[in-house]
Structure 1
Amino acid sequence: MKISTLLKYISGGIEALLGIPVLGGLVIISMGWTPLLFMLVFHIVTLIFSMKEKERIHGSVLGIVTSCLGWIPFLGMILHIITAILLLLDGRRSHKQDNEITI
């Protein structure tokens, strides 16, 4: 498994957690919006690895946007959910491509 695929799965899981109504907001607010800053850095790292490995970058780019706008109530929740879905789908596609047998 490529490192970018693993990073997409991890960031997608965290985004899914942050997208859970009430719970995600409590995590973000109780930690002083630090999770948004952490995820911004994490998405940038994932983007760099994805570009280096020539993988899809859509989820990481949306994750960067989500981290910047995630402090807005309701919009942040929706963006976290959409980003989680996109990252997990990107990771799955990359994982399937890694496992294909080429002749």
Structure 2
Amino acid sequence: MRGSTVMRWVTAIGEAFLAVPFIGGIFVMSTGYSALGVMFILHAITLVLAIRDHSAKSGSILGLATSAFAWIPFVGWFLHLVTAVVLVFQAVLSRPRYY
């Protein structure tokens, strides 16, 4: 499995956790919003790996935007949810197919 695919799964799980109503928000606020900074760094790493692997980049770019705007309460929840779904789809579609 390519590094970009592994990182897509990692960031998708992180985004899905942050998209859980109230729990994700409480976690982000309890870390002093540094969880968003960590997710930003993870999305940047995923983007670099996707560029290297010549694979889809939109999920990582969306994740970077989500990390930047997720401090807005309900907008953040929606962005985390959409980003998690996009990253899961890209991770599933980027797996090698065995026929």
Relative to the length of structure 2, the TM-score reads 0.97
Q: Distance in 1 between the 2:69 and 2:19 partners?
A: 13
- Which secondary structure state, in structure 2, belongs to the residue aligned with residue 66 of structure 1? helix
Matched, 1:17 2:40: no
Q: Distance in 2 between the 1:38 and 1:31 partners?
A: 11
> What does residue 99 of structure 1 align with?
97
Unmatched runs of 5 consecutive residues or more in structure 2: none
Q: CA offsets, 1:44-79, max 9 Å, x none?
A: 000000010011011000000000000001000000
Larger Rg: 1
> What does residue 32 of structure 2 align with?
32
Shift, 1:36, TM fit: 0.2
Residues 46-85 of structure 1: pairs in structure 2 closer than 5 A:
46-85=46-85
Which portions of structure 1, spanning 4 or more consecutive aligned residues, are displaced by more than 2 angstroms? none
Q: Distance in 1 between the 2:15 and 2:65 partners?
A: 12
Unmatched runs of 5 consecutive residues or more in structure 1: none
Q: Distance in 2 between the 1:3 and 1:28 partners?
A: 26
- Equivalent pairs, count: 99
- Which secondary structure state, in structure 2, belongs to the residue aligned with residue 99 of structure 1? coil
Letter in 2 for 1:86: V
Q: Distance in 2 between the 1:88 and 1:31 partners?
A: 25
Of all paired residues, the percent bearing the same amino acid is: 33
Q: Distance in 1 between the 2:42 and 2:79 partners?
A: 16
Relative to the length of structure 1, the TM-score reads 0.94
Q: Distance in 2 between the 1:72 and 1:66 partners?
A: 10
CA RMSD of the aligned region, Å?
Answer: 0.7
Shift, 1:99, TM fit: 2.6
